Structure 1
């Protein structure tokens, strides 16, 4: 009797696991490309048009203002990124590799760096440990340190 019950439970478990694994795997989602300045301005203008009941003439003017502001902000963001990279290059020439790594971690996350988006909620990190300001560069100390560990 015990053998029959055990066999029945085993069969049920096998069928349940088979059913779980038989489900189709979700296709991998390709990384999203960031929206263009025009797309951002369009979305922002649409929200403002709905909430503020803008006329067509107002919406066109607001769109142009939004577009100009977004482009200006993107230019400032790029300028800041270049300034951070220049500082990192200078620090790398002054500090030892260990000191540079400590300094890089002291800097905190940099906006726009790989691994700092919504995926961080799930504990995923980019290819670099910490928040390396040299991410993506040939002379990144993270790559050298990873090679030393191997």
Structure 2
């Protein structure tokens, strides 16, 4: 099944990740190709899929960290690619899922910066976190607020977005 077929199947199944799709998407290369294709598409119809893919990336990074899988093709970057695309769904509640992913190990924790957490927009994300009763919401809010308190942060964000797009296009 090619990437177009994977995405068409997902949409025809009304946003369900069937066992057949789940099996295909366990393959790191298949996920990378999906990310490249999703770069050119509106993300909200694929929100559930991207959330599932982030969970796959977390599993993959954990297995890699433990030495259970080899990664000769730099598929380890998939967690950042997926996190960026997930932000394009503009759902501030995704910050909680991203926050959990950030802390799976030191490598991901140091590389997944505040830029990943404002896909819904900075004011929208901070408002959501300010009203959320999730245990990490206040900490995430402070982390994001602190980073974006720098006057140049929104300019850095624009450069960061261009870097993410270029990275995904390079797949």
Instruction: Give the shorter-chain TM-score range.
Output: under 0.3
Normalised TM-score (structure 1): 0.27
Normalised TM-score (structure 2): 0.24
Higher relative contact order (CA 8 A, sep 6+): 2
